[in-house]
A and B are shown apart, each in its own frame.
Chain A
């Protein structure tokens, strides 16, 4: 067998569902090749071996929701040459950021018998609010092909080739019928960053924004369009407040429709 590769990869978890790191294990055809190209030195979900840092590439899943985690992410940063966030939790705070601006003590008492035991911050925040991040990969979950591109780009010493345009262009690329034009179905595609391959429109449903806002989204124009299609303010508000609720462009638009 070939020697252990000399560059090291680490995969870290914060508040999350594990779906983004699972995307790496879902690369069934490429996983062993990845392991041959870079030493998967720290990946607790997949291995008992926990080889120490420093790491050349750290993939970080999940958002910061506890004091302990706010400290832990700093130690991750300190051990990592490159730090890449994977997914909506790490990049925008995730669905759990719906607590932000609400009474988190009350939230805890809804779920837990002894809410006092819960060590939690008032907010769920993205990794970039705490440490510098070298690249952010979008999606809830991320697309595994994009993940492989990020890892290959790192190994080759180049910037990952990840498009920042909207889902609409991916619809056109795969010849999917526009659900807003053809079915009057509200869709977040025009303001959502590409990367998934326009899955929802291809299945006849409007995009619900799981990849977060594209660069410079025209959210105001889209909300007007939704209203013309009959969407109520509450529906527009909730649409922008989901898996990327704390991404600034989505948060700002949602606030306009807060009742």
Chain B
């Protein structure tokens, strides 16, 4: 074999529009690219001049799969600018809301987007013909996550009840109690189905990664914490801009986030899991041990199992929060940031999501910067593609293509999120579409 290229012109079962390009010279993979042709929407530009209070509703429209993540990073950044910390039940409710989004987003990915790869199905609907029980269970788990978002947020996609300082309306104890049975049932279903997931055929590939996530002394990280890595990084979120940068690589028009002076890093469920294993809830850490997962997992294909563990965690955490909930008197604290700068990083389902705002004296946004998880993972994904394609070089083109797609899906990439800030390769003609 001399040289050839392998292309997937339109990546499927990912959020947004991207393509894959691989060059192979004499059985050696020489180039791997994840191209993004999602049209830009310019959020950072049109946020300028809008009231700081609008940031959560506007930025949620960057992504319909993880709108809560955008709302959470936006409100925490604005609260930081106003130098106000939200504690107590309002803080707990935000965590509960995030549990709902993690469950909904992870379940979508596990059962509808990723599992079909391991078993050779085109989609969950085809998979449902042979594994009806798994797909039905997956859908009901997803629905349980959505029921939390709907209760606290008003609706599943782009919740309307989140504002700076808290909520427009906080639930009655009875409204949360009403979720309890559904969540318990779904938690038990998840526990059962984890054993099925753990028996999927995982390719035996692993790499040495720098994992990056938040870490919090008292809890598995969601809304708060320091940014840490398995290679000694330990910084306050305020040092984000000094620590990370976007690198412009010559082979592509995409910007890749790297740790200054060190290189690519890995964010998302596997990073959180590896860096916060001790903070998992009892059932979740027990399930991890039972299925052979331990701290320091470096096989990216096992991310599906890690997501499943996080779903189990999120159910337990949601049930814990519901059991201690006391309805606060005020649904929100008044927050009016002005003439200030604020930033925050929270753990979106797909990993670290950083927002940075400068607010003018009238309380309007002067500048906005948003760095979503998929942008941060892009370089790691391309490096993985090289390793995996090399590992499976003997496969037919079609099989190799599918393996590469599966490799990309390990990261549950959200290209819609990434595109508003990545520089784009829109050369559709030469990329095939």
Measuring CB to CB, which residues of chain A are less than 8 angstroms from any residue of chain B? 1, 13-23, 25-26, 28-29, 31-32, 35, 40, 43-50, 65-66, 68-69, 94-96, 98-99, 102, 104, 106-108, 110-114, 117-120, 124, 140-141, 196, 199-200, 202-205, 208, 210, 235, 238, 242-243
Q: Which residues of B contact A208 (CB under 8 A)?
A: 57, 160
Q: List 10 A-B contacts (CB under 8 A).
A: A16-B416, A22-B108, A44-B10, A46-B124, A48-B122, A95-B61, A106-B45, A107-B42, A108-B40, A112-B423
In the complex, the chain A residue whose C-beta lies closest to that of B144 is A28
B135 to chain A minimum Cβ distance, whole angstroms, is: 7
Question: Are the C-beta atoms of A26 and B156 separated by less than 8 Å?
Answer: yes
Determine the chain A residues whose CB is within 8 A of the CB of B173 once the complex forms: none
Q: Which of A22, A114, A117 contacts B65 (CB 8 A)?
A: A22
Residues of B in contact, count (CB < 8 Å)? 72
Is residue B276 contacting chain A, with contact meaning CB distance below 8 A? Answer: no
- Complex CA distance for A225 and B154, rounded to whole angstroms: 26
Binding site for A on B (CB under 8 A): 10-17, 38-46, 48, 50-51, 54, 57-58, 61-65, 67, 108, 112-113, 116, 122-126, 128-129, 135-136, 139-140, 142-143, 146, 154-158, 160-161, 163, 168-169, 246, 248, 253, 255, 331, 402, 405, 416, 420-421, 423-426, 428
Q: Are A44 and B12 in contact (CB-based, < 8 A)?
A: yes
Interchain CB contact under 8 A, A99 and B45: yes
Chain A CB within 10 Å — which of B41, B143, B246 has the most?
B41
Tell which of A65, A141, A205, A235 touches B161, judged by Cβ atoms closer than 8 Å.
A205
A96 to B11, CA, bound (A): 24
Other A-B contacts than A110-B44, A111-B40, 14 sampled, CB-CB below 8 A, are A15-B41, A19-B63, A26-B142, A44-B10, A45-B14, A94-B61, A95-B41, A112-B423, A114-B248, A119-B426, A141-B155, A199-B155, A203-B161, A204-B168
Q: Which residue of B lies closest to A115 (CB)?
A: B423
Residues of chain A lying within 8 A (CB to CB) of residue B116? 48
If A1-B129, A113-B246, A118-B424 touch, whether A17 touches B45 (CB-CB below 8 Å) is no
- Given known pairs A17-B62, A45-B15, A114-B423, the reply for A199 and B154 (CB within 8 Å) is yes
The reply to whether A99 and B65 contact each other, CB–CB distance below 8 Å, is: no
Verify A238–B51 contact, CB threshold 8 A: yes
Asked whether A202 lies within 8 Å of B154 as measured between CB atoms, the reply is: yes
| A20 and B423 form a contact (CB under 8 A) | no
A95-B40 contact in complex given A25-B112, A49-B126, C-beta closer than 8 Å: no
Which chain A positions have C-beta within 8 A of B157?
19-20, 22-23, 26, 141
Q: Is the CB of A242 within 8 A of B58?
A: yes
Residues of A within 8 A of B255 (CB): 113
> Chain B residues near A210 (CB, 8 Å)?
158
Cβ contact within 8 Å between B160 and A32? no
Q: Output the least CB separation between A29 and chain B (Å).
A: 7
- Are A49 and B146 touching (Cβ within 8 A)? no
- Of the candidates B14, B42, B169, B405, which one forms a contact with A96 in the assembled complex, judged by CB atoms under 8 Å apart? B42
Residues of B with C-beta under 8 A to A69: 39
Q: How far is the CA of A99 from the CA of B42 in the complex (A)?
A: 8
What residues on A are CB-neighbors of B136 within 8 Å? Answer: 32
Q: In the complex, A18 Cα to B108 Cα: how many Å?
A: 13
Q: How far is the CA of A44 from the CA of B10 in the complex (A)?
A: 8
Residue of B nearest to A143 (CB): B155
- Residues from chain B with a CB closer than 8 A to the CB of A110 are 42, 44-45, 48
- C-alpha gap A243/B125 in the complex (Å): 33
Bound complex: CA A120 to CA B37 (Å): 11
